Amino acid sequence: MIQIDDTIISLDIVEENFLCNLSACKGECCVDGDSGAPLEPEEVKLLEEALPHVWDSLSPQAQALIKEQGVAYKDRDGDMVTSIVNGKDCVFTYYDSDGTCKCAIEKAYREGRIGFYKPVSCHLYPIRLGKYREFTALNYHRWRVCKAAVELGNQKGLKIYQFLKEPLIRRFGQKWYDELCLVAEEYLNSKMKD
């Protein structure tokens, strides 16, 4: 483990390779799973504010569910997560013509219609945050649907922390990320010498 400030980072994040391969997985991480995407407390309001800008991109089932229960709910662990349709699709998903599942929130952000990128847990994936009283743990969530991402990451030699530079800076700041890079490089160099 690596500690930076009040975060504990799993060594997998600096050792393992990863690069999303959307053409292979078709966005399965937004569909498969037992609950929606974990949300920070302020993100529920941001999703509600974004709703009018993405409404027409959402499926009729997602629209009906949002009208009934809202954009988020508490899962069985008591965590706030995005609402999901039929126990799988995040309500903010839409499908491209080739069947790739994508995020309507991210699309609206990239088109300049909203200022919220998407929930940070989605942006950070495959890193999952665990919040404890005194620290936040960053762990690599291994999942069969990301096999193609691991293979592509191995081909390109791209570590998880490098692939997730933008969301890590978004969540923890540039100074924190720079320190992570420095510690990761020292750790990986020392490992090569062993």
* Whether residue 32 sits in one domain with residue 118: yes
Which pLDDT value is given to residue 76? 87
Query: Looking at 98, 125, 152, which one is the last position of a domain?
Result: 125
Whole-number Å distance between alpha carbons of 143 and 126: 8
* Whether residue 32 sits in one domain with residue 82: yes
Count of domains forming the chain: 2
The range of the structural domain enclosing residue 174 comes to 1-18+128-194
The answer to whether the pTM exceeds 0.75 is yes
Decide which of 165 and 86 is more confident. Answer: 165
> Dihedral of CA 164/166/167/169: which sign?
positive
Measured CA to CA in angstroms, residue 190 lies from 53, 116, 121, 127, 185 at distances of 49, 39, 31, 24, 8
Q: What are the pLDDT digits (tens) for 132-190?
A: 889 999 999 988 888 989 999 999 999 999 999 999 999 999 999 999 999 999 988 88
Whole-number Å distance between alpha carbons of 160 and 143: 14
Query: Looking at 103, 125, 147, which one is the last position of a domain?
Result: 125
